[in-house]
Structure 1
Amino acid sequence: MTLTKVWLQTPADELIRADLVTGIQTHRTPAKAGQASHWLLDVVLLPAGSVQPDGSTITPLHRTLAHTADKPGDAPQHLARLLAQLDATLAAGIITTSICPEPASSSSTARSDTSTTTVRFRFAPFTEGQAGHEYDSEYL
């Protein structure tokens, strides 16, 4: 991908350059005492190396884009499609992730393993500066 000007925003307000994404995955966290498990929508980034006492290791980095109570449905496919569409253009901006609210009739006790949550992605392009200005004076 050539998405060097497209960024993904995480819930922790990190920005990840989209061309570093090598995968998109969902997985369920284990339930902990007093805490229900939940689903994570993660992007997998280029592997990073670290030196351990017993040698060097290379592992992929994961960054979470969304936490949901139910499986995030087709979110990985929707994000992959958006990234592919943006890759075909000269896009520059930030992709944010949002969770669609549950219908009012839903109950957290009625959830099942087949329940899904809708995750939406929004691309907000950077605004272009005025002609003849290389930099936006607001940032100088």
Structure 2
Amino acid sequence: MMCHSPAEQGVLVSNSFQLDQIPHGFAFTETGALIHYKHTIILTVPPPNAGPWGDTWLSFGCAWADTKLGVSIYTNGSWGGVSPRNVPDNGNRLGEKLPAGTQKILIGRMKMGPADSADDVPISWLLEYLGT
């Protein structure tokens, strides 16, 4: 069975969002090396600024302690490197606009240093889509 996107079906898309938690357990060392993929999530997204989709924003928030995430974006046929995102406990959410052509986003907890053991601090993600 072939699925068609809203754009292929001629459907107008309004603003929408999705949210959830980052899994417990470290996915990456402090230098970005993979510890284990079972601690990652992959968000599959409609490409920003294509068809009925406008800008797409990805945000992170945490509580109880500062945290670090490793994020890699699949765009234009290849994965970017694992880039660190520092998410503060005592501060606003960390947000960024996704580049046009984004297809997938890999997210996992990254150690802040070799002795970091706080792999269960609550962290959430928010994906916001703006319709065109």
TM-score, normalized by length of structure 1? 0.23
Larger radius of gyration: 1
Greater share of helix: 1
